[in-house]
Structure 1
Amino acid sequence: MTDLIKKIKSRFKERFNEEPVLIQSPGRVNLIGEHTDYNDGFVLPAAIQKVILLGIAKNGIGKIRAYSEDMDEAVELDLNNLQKSDKHWANYIKGAVSEVMKAGHKPKGFDVVFGGDIPIGAGLSSSAALEGAVLVGLEKLFSLGLDRKRMAKIGQLTEHNHVGVNCGIMDQFINLHGEANKVLKLDCRSLEYELYPFIRDDIKIVLCDSKVSHNLADSEYNVRRSQCEEGVEVMKNYKPEIKNLRDVDLELLNAHKDEMEEVVYRRCKYVLEENERVHAACRDLENNDFEAFGKRMFASHDGLSNDYEVSCEELDVLVDIAKNQPGLLGARMMGGGFGGCTINLVEEQHVEAFTDAIKEQYKARTGKDTEIYITQINGGTQVLQGDEADIKK
């Protein structure tokens, strides 16, 4: 981190001849609770040690001047006429500022330099990290009166309206509300949340990238949503107050399973069981029972693979290899599915052997290489220089 701080400060001074405020903004993992968000369910994400570091300062010229250290690209945007950029990363900055302005706030011109070690395209939400860093930076510079929950909503609107990704709010929420040594259980309906202890320093989070692109994820995502909604329509015949699967229990679902297609029943069953796994996993953490927590991760993967059918051969192979390795507590696919990463909880003393085994056996069974990322839980977006008290939690 020290080297990254030096690099960003040096680059900022070189480009803008100013001393920046530094914002540290993390990537995230989701430990359990997949495909529950759009059913108003529960998720259990955590901020991680892989971060974006962003330097920001006022410039007094009514423009945004931004530089991406990792891409070696620069843009200049006019605050009075914000237009879509041909640089993809710049649209997260432009979008966040546009949404802040739509909400009635009036940030002035500023300069930005950012870089970091969150892998792009690995499902660790580098985009939410950039949004969070920009929004916390704007609050620090201009005292806009934005609390963290409002920032998360602005980050989500940035994705919807300026990037074209119709995402939930989990990524932005954990980026801004994460705490060190804690996971966050988020109620995706009310946005109420609770923090639970994750204090085993001897456990590493190991992410194994299948190197399979999510080429089916978008279309199949829409299919899964419609199947869940189809099941809800059946349930509404018996309880009209039901809005979505959040309001259904397994007893009601099982009582009327014959009134829906078998595949619709399995989709709904998975979501209800996954929501319960999130609650149970939180109880495991309160009891410091990581063995039980890991078993729920395996059960989550089985449900995602067999009932929700959003896994793929490569993800299943990664979990299957992991199951047989010493020191593994739990493993499952993470994210929308059809590619991307698995998330594994591995005792630190076994991480090196685990990594070697995964690389060797995955190559032998699929013909593909895998990228492996090792991290731990960390805090949410924070100002590294100056007093952070003016940014409300």
Structure 2
Amino acid sequence: MIQRTREQFIHLFEKEPLIVVSPGRINLIGEHTDYNDGFVLPAAIDKKIVYAIALNNTQQCNAHAVFTQETVSFHLNDVKPTPGWINYLMGVVYQLQERGLPVQGFDCVVAGDIPVGAGMSSSAAVEGGLVAGLNHLFGYGLTRMEMALIGQQAEHTFPGVQCGIMDQFANLHGKKDQVIRLDCRSLEYEYFPFNFPGYKVVLCNSMVHHSLASSEYNVRRRQCEEGVKAIQVKHPAVQSLRDANMFMLEEVKEQLPAKVYDRCNYVIAEIQRVQDATVLLKQGNLSEFGQLMYDTHEGLSKLYEVSCPELDFLVSLSREREEVAGARVMGGGFGGCTINLVKTEKVDDFVAYIKSRYQDQYGKAPEVYVTTIEDGVTVKENVRENA
């Protein structure tokens, strides 16, 4: 993919590009906790966005998307929210301009194999790849955390999704065969080895595109904030659900709409599950780790209500399989993938079973991705044929 993207860039723009490889991400546990100042446990994976990019000495930015075979341009004096995939690139450029960083025109080709809407955060990979490429070309000297925050702000201001920091953070900070516990309040983080050589991370795509995710995501965020405000009446020091506990929530249960209570109940429990999960990783205790994943799915489905029948069905199939240590819906929800920890020698059997049963139930075959945990965004100079 890297060579094809480079060749297409040279064909379109007649110069040698810089190559940036920007991965998607998984999140083993800790869903919808990031915007509640909680903990998450993500990792970068081998599904990726690839940029070929170079400066053009103008005020015009030209971007060709391989996945749509479309070339779009915008002027640096006219950067504003625009429908379509170019919105993510413009959001990054806008955030750089807002910080007073010099931006000049550039040409780029964008390719990738991250399935859109599957919960692997293709948008963060698009943002992270561009900010890393421009950081390199212009010599901004940005840290990886600064680049992650720029990507997050780009998502807030242009697509308008009030996401937490997890996706952009994992995209830029990933390390091969490591998961990262990120404290979404302090932004402190710690790497933990994902040391289960007999298991693979397998993603099963429900083929349901999570079109509801953006709008419902913002609804869930407001519901969590509503719960915090009620708790603050009795406990003024509580700034987010990170600071709350089940006792505090029970104290205000009668004042809360049932849905708001359920949302807060899930988040408070999930923040604790991430802490418990890292202890289990250190112990190498995969069976209890897997049970936490099933507990998370139950909460996401019943309390947070971001699952759907197709995702619940996929998780129920995984529960039937002895080779699966744990499974749950991953990402924003309303479609996308389940994440499964599957014995390596049984992956083929598992995939065949899932595809057959899902086809029988829904009349369509799910895509299945066997992933590996890889490094975060990588800038590659001097990429040549056969390099």
Q: Name 1:210's counterpart in structure 2.
A: 206
- Where structure 1 has 5 or more consecutive residues not aligned to the other structure, the ranges are 388-393
Q: Could you tell me which residue of structure 2 aligns to residue 384 of structure 1?
A: 380
Q: Aligned partners of 1:338, 1:309: CA distance in 2, in Å?
A: 9
1:6 aligns with 2:7: no
Q: Which moved more, 1:30-39 or 1:276-285?
A: 30-39
Q: Distance in 2 between matches of 1:362 and 1:48?
A: 25
1:45 matched residue in structure 2: 42
When structure 1 is superposed on structure 2, of 342-351 and 303-312 the one drifting more is 303-312
Match of 1:114 among 110, 113, 130: 110
* Paired residue type of 1:50: K
- Residues 57 and 338 of structure 1: CA distance in aligned 2, closer, same or farther (over 3 Å): closer
Pick aligned residue for 1:346 from 342, 345, 369: 342
Q: Taking structure 2 as the reference length, what is the TM-score of the superposition? A: 0.92
Distance of 1:90 and 1:222 partners within structure 2: 22
Residue equivalent to 2:313: 317
Quickly say closer, same or farther: Cα 1:386–1:239, change in 2 above 3 A. Answer: farther
Superposition map of 1:137-152 within 5 A: 137-152=133-148
In the alignment, the residues of structure 2 paired with residue 251 and residue 200 of structure 1 have an alpha-carbon distance, to the nearest angstrom, of 36
TM-superposed CA distance for 1:260, in Å, is 4.3
Deviates more, 1:295-304 or 1:159-168: 159-168
CA contact (8 A) 1:326 1:350 kept: no
Alignment of 1:190-339 (within 5 A): 190-254=186-250, 257=253, 260-339=256-335
User: CA shift at 1:104, angstroms?
Assistant: 0.3
What is the CA distance between 1:48 and its match in structure 2? 0.4
Verify the 8 A CA contact 1:96 1:134 in the aligned structure 2.
Answer: yes
1:391 aligns with none
User: For residues 167-191 of structure 1, what are the alpha-carbon distances to aligned partners after superposition, in whole Å with 9 as ceiling and x for unaligned?
Assistant: 2221111111111111111222222
Equivalent residue, structure 1, for 2:67: 70
Q: Quote the residue 1:390 is aligned against.
A: none
After superposition, the Cα gap between the structure-2 partners of 1:238 and 1:84, relative to the gap in structure 1 and judged at 3 Å, is closer
Structure 2 residue ranges without an equivalent (≥5): none
Q: Aligned partners of 1:294, 1:137: CA distance in 2, in Å?
A: 37
**Residue 310 of structure 2 aligns to a residue in which SS?**
helix
Aligned with 1:159 (options 145, 155, 158): 155
Amino acid at match of 2:113: D
**Bigger mean CA offset, 119-128 vs 198-207:** 198-207
Distance of 1:124 and 1:56 partners within structure 2: 23
Assess, with a 3 A threshold, how the Cα gap between structure 1 residues 102 and 311 changes in structure 2: closer, same or farther.
same
Letter in 2 for 1:125: S
Closer, same or farther in 2 for the Cα pair 1:95/1:254, shift >3 Å? closer
2:96 aligns to what? Answer: 100
Give how far 1:281 is off. 0.8
Q: Is the 8 A contact 2:72 2:86 kept in 1?
A: yes
Q: 1:286, 1:181 → 2: CA distance?
A: 14
Contact 2:10 2:16 (8 Å CA) reproduced: yes
- Asked whether the 8 Å contact 2:118–2:335 carries over to 1, the reply is no
Aligned match for 1:29, one of 9, 26, 30:
26
**Post-superposition CA distance 1:354-382 (Å, at most 9, x none):** 11111111222334432222211111001
Is the CA contact (8 Å cut-off) linking 1:326 and 1:354 kept in structure 2? no
Deviation of the 1:78 alpha carbon: 2.2
* Larger displacement relative to structure 2 (241-250 or 77-86): 77-86
- SS of 1:214's partner is coil
Whole-angstrom CA distance in 2 between matches of 1:111 and 1:378: 27
Q: Say what the alpha-carbon RMSD is for the aligned residues.
A: 2.1
Moved more, 56-65 or 348-357: 56-65
Instruction: Provide the C-alpha distance between the structure 2 equivalents of 1:182 and 1:247, rounded to a whole number of angstroms.
Output: 28
Corresponding residue for residue 81 of structure 1: 78
Distance 1:337 1:259, change over 3 A: same
8 A Cα contact 1:77 1:83, kept in partner? no
Change over 3 Å in CA distance of 1:299–1:85 after alignment to 2: closer
- Residues 184, 223 of structure 1: alpha-carbon distance in 2 compared, 3 angstrom cutoff: same
Write the distance in 2 (CA, Å) between the matches of 1:264 and 1:133. 36
TM-score of the superposed pair, with normalisation by structure 1: 0.91
Tell me what 1:61 maps to: 58
How far apart in 2 are the matches of 1:136 and 1:233? Answer: 38
AA aligned opposite 2:85: W
How far apart, CA to CA, are the structure 2 residues paired with 1:106 and 1:347? 50
Q: Distance in 2 between matches of 1:385 and 1:167?
A: 31
**Structure 2 CA distance for aligned equivalents of residues 63 and 227 of structure 1:** 42
Measure the CA separation in 1 of the matches of 2:281 and 2:237. 33
Give me the whole-angstrom Cα distance separating, in 2, the residues matched to 1:160 and 1:255: 33
Does the 8 Å CA contact 2:81/2:159 hold for their aligned counterparts?
no
CA distance in structure 1 between the partners assigned to 2:301 and 2:132 by the alignment: 38
User: In the aligned structure 1, how far is the partner of 2:248 from the partner of 2:198?
Assistant: 42
